[in-house]
């Protein structure tokens, strides 16, 4: 399994800064992590080892004092958490585990696993420029392939690889550099909902050179979708929307962008779990239930998500109001629950099985189709992609929520603060960072 450590905010940068400040002596810390799906470990707490917490501390060796380690192991056992032993190699840019490290872990990891059996446990070594990490599954050690910081900015620290920049991306590189293009080439991005906004999102991600797309939608293309689903033609009517989008991306990139097309709904665990490989997700769905699930995943599992929507109020062909919204969901940012953007009754209905919905006396008739215009979808999709570029490659745009007021012709940033008691996004009282310790309200059918 490929393992990834996930920090909220700039937690990894702060850890590196504090530990490497002890150079030339090695320094250490212990991380306690909540498990997520797909080999993701969410860093819940960081304990920096002070001078009295080390029995040996020098330029080439570090040993934690037994009392310091025992306290951390007890917390890992009591909270069913994974434990990561961290130390520095202050004279190495790209560090490697030493023979001393190998020997120490051969003793320490089995002892930790005996006292805190849930695990998995591992070790991390930090150099001046990079890291090496490993997670033990029994006696076998698997590599930590990435460390991610998730907040208003999403920063992925890999173990080092180079990607050739193709000429097709020359104008991108002139905007945000070769480093930014390399980040996009290594990114895995999910798109949930491949209709009017989602198809535009998939196209723009493909043209930007994003390396891999995971596309999820359970619907088939209808004739009435042809006014707004890019890449769709009359011959595609009746095909799954994700397959139409997959073919369109392949034409754009000559199959350079890898795609996974999932015919399913994120209301079901099987489809939603495909998203745990993603660095970021776009929520392009039009149901409150699926948006509630993605909102929960964004905070409970630190899967950063950009939610968007277009609303047109019209009666008998007369428009009374038009608006669009783009909002990033990540640690440190207000969630949809905080903003009262989810209708609890609509969420409840979406989570009912078909038989439960038919038996519910409060659900009468079918929802009416809503107006949809490709130009408004295009504006909101482009704002969402720009927000993505700001968060991932450092495009100089600081706002993470935008309201598009169509009648006035303005796009306005909106500053919001997360509710410290929110059941979803609060790290003190809510689901934030809990990973698989908390359940998700999947649909049961």
pLDDT digits (tens, 9 = 90+) for 234-286: 999 999 999 999 999 999 999 899 999 999 999 999 999 999 999 999 999 98
What per-residue confidence (pLDDT) applies to 358? Answer: 67
pLDDT digits (tens, 9 = 90+) for 186-203: 999 999 999 999 999 999
Closest CA to 218 of 281, 155, 271, 258: 271
Element spanning 126, H or E: strand 121-126
Helix (H, G, I), strand (E, B) or coil at 204: helix
164 secondary structure, DSSP code: P
What span, in angstroms and rounded, lies between the C-alpha atoms of 283 and 277? 16
Closest CA to 278 of 249, 299, 302, 255: 302
The token duo for 179 is 């480093």
| Position 100 pLDDT exceeds 80 | yes
Class of domain 168-437: alpha beta
Q: In the chain, where are the structural domains located?
A: 3-150, 168-437
Task: Please name the residue ranges forming H helices in 216-336.
Answer: 241-253, 269-272, 288-300
Mean pLDDT computed over 350-355: 80
pLDDT digits (tens, 9 = 90+) for 239-253: 999 999 999 999 999
The token duo for 267 is 């209301």
Closest CA to 432 of 4, 6, 1, 5: 6
pLDDT digits (tens, 9 = 90+) for 108-152: 999 999 999 999 999 999 999 999 999 998 889 999 999 999 999
Find where tokens 């939610």 sit.
Answer: 307
What per-residue confidence (pLDDT) applies to 416? Answer: 85
DSSP annotation string for 52-99? GGEEEESSS-EEE-HHHHHHHHHHHHHHT-EEEEEEE-TT-SS----H
The token duo for 246 is 């997959």
pLDDT digits (tens, 9 = 90+) for 290-339: 999 999 999 999 999 999 999 999 988 899 999 999 999 999 999 999 99
**Burial profile 129-168: b = 16 or more Cβ within 10 angstroms, e = fewer:** ebbbbbbbeeeebbebebbbbbbbbbbbbeeeeeeebeee
pLDDT digits (tens, 9 = 90+) for 41-65: 999 999 999 999 999 999 999 999 9
Element spanning 180, H or E: helix 170-186
Element spanning 363, H or E: none
Q: What is the band of 428 on the pLDDT scale with cuts at 50, 70, 90?
A: confident
What per-residue confidence (pLDDT) applies to 139? Answer: 80
Identify the sign of the CA torsion 75, 78, 79, 83: positive
Q: Contact at 8 Å (CB) between 217 and 242?
A: yes
What per-residue confidence (pLDDT) applies to 285? Answer: 95
Class of domain 3-150: alpha beta
Strands 82-88 and 121-126: parallel
What span, in angstroms and rounded, lies between the C-alpha atoms of 429 and 349? 26
What per-residue confidence (pLDDT) applies to 246? Answer: 98
Domains 3-150 and 168-437 share a fold: no
Contacts (Cβ under 8 Å, ≥6 apart) of 140: none
**How far, in whole angstroms, is CA 344 from its chain's centroid?**
24
Mean pLDDT of the chain: 93
Find where tokens 């585990």 sit.
Answer: 97
Q: Report how far apart, in Å, the C-alpha atoms of 342 and of each of 332, 346, 350 are.
A: 19, 8, 12
CB count within 10 Å of CB 190 equals 27
What span, in angstroms and rounded, lies between the C-alpha atoms of 115 and 110? 9
Tell me whether the omega of the peptide bond preceding residue 24 falls within 30 degrees of 0, making it cis: yes
What per-residue confidence (pLDDT) applies to 366? Answer: 57
Q: What is the band of 178 on the pLDDT scale with cuts at 50, 70, 90?
A: very high
| Position 163 pLDDT exceeds 70 | no
What span, in angstroms and rounded, lies between the C-alpha atoms of 384 and 149? 20
What per-residue confidence (pLDDT) applies to 355? Answer: 75
Q: What is the band of 67 on the pLDDT scale with cuts at 50, 70, 90?
A: very high
Strands 54-57 and 140-150: unpaired
What per-residue confidence (pLDDT) applies to 365? Answer: 54
The reported pTM is 0.95
| Position 373 pLDDT exceeds 60 | yes
């Amino acid at each position: 399994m490929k393992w990834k450590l996930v920090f909220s905010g700039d937690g990894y940068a702060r850890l590196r800064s504090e530990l490497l400040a002890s150079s030339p002596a090695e320094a250490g810390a212990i991380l306690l992590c909540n498990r997520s799906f797909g080999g993701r470990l969410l860093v819940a707490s960081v304990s920096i080892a002070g001078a009295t917490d080390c029995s040996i501390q020098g330029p080439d060796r570090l040993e934690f004092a037994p009392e310091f380690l025992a306290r951390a192991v007890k917390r890992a056992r009591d909270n069913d958490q994974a434990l990561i032993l961290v130390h520095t190699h202050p004279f190495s840019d790209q560090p490697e585990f030493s023979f001393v490290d190998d020997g120490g872990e051969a003793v320490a990891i089995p002892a930790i696993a005996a006292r805190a059996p849930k695990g998995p446990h591992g070790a991390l070594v930090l150099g001046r420029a990079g890291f090496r990490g490993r997670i033990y599954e029994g006696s076998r050690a698997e590599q930590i392939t990435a460390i991610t910081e998730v907040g208003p900015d999403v920063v992925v620290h890999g173990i080092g690889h180079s990607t050739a920049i193709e000429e097709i991306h020359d104008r991108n590189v002139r905007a945000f550099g070769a480093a930014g293009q390399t980040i996009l080439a290594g990114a895995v991005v999910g798109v949930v909902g491949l209709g009017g906004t989602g198809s535009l999102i998939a196209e723009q991600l493909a043209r930007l050179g994003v390396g891999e797309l995971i596309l999820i939608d359970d619907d088939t293309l209808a004739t009435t979708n042809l006014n707004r689903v890019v890449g769709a033609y009359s011959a595609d009517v009746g095909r799954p929307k994700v397959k139409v989008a997959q073919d369109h991306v392949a034409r754009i990139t000559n199959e350079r962008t890898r795609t996974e097309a999932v015919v399913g709904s994120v209301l079901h665990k099987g489809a939603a779990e495909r998203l745990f490989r993603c660095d970021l997700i776009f929520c392009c769905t039009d149901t409150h239930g699926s948006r509630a699930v993605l909102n929960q995943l964004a905070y409970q599992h630190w899967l950063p998500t950009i939610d968007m929507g277009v609303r047109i109020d019209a009666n008998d062909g007369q428009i009374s109001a038009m608006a669009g919204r783009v909002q990033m969901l990540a640690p440190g940012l207000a969630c949809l629950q905080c903003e009262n953007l989810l209708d609890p009754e609509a969420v409840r209905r979406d989570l009912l099985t078909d038989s439960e919905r038919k038996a519910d006396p409060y659900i009468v008739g079918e929802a009416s189709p809503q107006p949809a215009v490709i130009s408004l979808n295009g504006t909101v999709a482009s704002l969402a992609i720009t927000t993505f570029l700001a968060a991932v490659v450092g495009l100089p745009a600081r706002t993470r929520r935008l309201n598009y007021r169509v009648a006035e012709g303005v796009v306005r940033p909106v500053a919001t603060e997360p509710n410290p008691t929110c059941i979803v996004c609060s790290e003190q009282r809510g689901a934030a960072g809990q990973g698989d310790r908390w359940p998700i309200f999947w649909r049961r059918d």
